[in-house]
Structure 1
Amino acid sequence: MPDTTSGMTVARPAVCPALLYRDAKAALKQLITAFGFTQSAYYESEDGTVLHAELIHGNGMVMLGSADRAGAFVEAMGSGGPAGIYVVVEDVDAHFARAREHGAEILAEPADQDYGSRDYMARDLEGNVWTFGTYAPSGPETSI
């Protein structure tokens, strides 16, 4: 269902990766400054632990929180990770330049792929692998 609370219609993503970080505040800073995400929600406990944050990139979203707290999700995740996440961007080279400028660990520089995409790979501060590229999966013909 679209969110119309801000006066504009925004389609809510149907799939949202959820990541846990030992230092969630540092992760938020890197994802925003180096990778161009926009923070849309942030909740923390009285002691400063990140309980839940939502970051938007295009029409996609990533949720994250601190790994050092209690709860069913944290327990189920255990020491899971790192994860690999793909993000569609329009200008791979500009995105790459921003990430490199902000000190992201680059695993593969921008390159044209046989399947028509141009992409690059970077690792965040806690080992998750992020691929940014022009390939945009078509998805289902209709959404539920």
Structure 2
Amino acid sequence: MAGTAESPTVYPTLLYRDAHAAIRLLTEGFGFTKDAVYESEGGYVVHAELSYGNGKVMLGTKGGEGEFAKAMKDAGPASVYVVVDDPDAHHKRAAEYGVPVLMPPTDQDYGARDYIACDTEGNVWSFGTYVPGQSGS
């Protein structure tokens, strides 16, 4: 399995109307550690990573651009990111099962490869090689 013994392989990914407020609540109210926050020129959170123990959560501001933002626009209440060694093989299995694929396996600018699908309740699932907190993923 991708990742390491120190790195989780499942990352809840949440979008908020006010991601800055969510980050404050998670860090100040719940004790998460802010590991990374990337903002757009307009000041909204494009991507943030917060950790608590061995776990991490990724989050951002609703209404962004890109395939993930489009997939989440009318999605269920959550998104989950799962690290996999071979996104193409994982995608093939899901597609053969009949899972609705929202974005086929795609090479990302940051060096990872991933795809996006949804479950029967509209929750968005992303599977890829990116491991938050590790360079060269």
How many residues in Structure 1 have an aligned counterpart in Structure 2? 78
1:35 and 2:30 matched:
yes
Out of 20, 42, 50, the position equivalent to 1:25 is 20
| C-alpha distance in 2 between matches for 1:45 and 1:66 | 10
Task: Using the aligned pairs only, state the percent identity.
Answer: 53
Structure 1's unaligned 5+ residue stretches are 3-9, 86-144
Counterpart residue type for residue 72 of structure 1: E
SS of 1:28 mapped into structure 2: helix
Q: TM-score, normalising length from structure 2?
A: 0.52
1:73-112 matched pairs, under 5 angstroms:
73-83=68-78
Give per-residue Cα distances to partners, 1:70-90, cap 9 Å, x unaligned. Answer: 1111111123343499xxxxx
Structure 1 or 2, whichever has the larger Rg, is 1
Counterpart residue type for residue 51 of structure 1: V
* 1:13 positional shift: 1.3
1:43-54 matched pairs, under 5 angstroms:
43-54=38-49
| C-alpha distance in 2 between matches for 1:60 and 1:49 | 24
Give per-residue Cα distances to partners, 1:17-69, cap 9 Å, x unaligned. Answer: 10001110010000111111001011001110100000000000000001121
* 1:14 positional shift: 0.6
8 Å contact from structure 2 (residues 12, 79) kept in 1: no
Structure 2 equivalent of residue 68 of structure 1: 63
| C-alpha distance in 1 between matches for 2:32 and 2:79 | 16
Runs (4+) off by over 2 Å: 79-85
Cα 1:40–1:81 shift into 2, 3 Å: same
| C-alpha distance in 2 between matches for 1:29 and 1:11 | 25
Q: TM-score, normalising length from structure 1?
A: 0.49
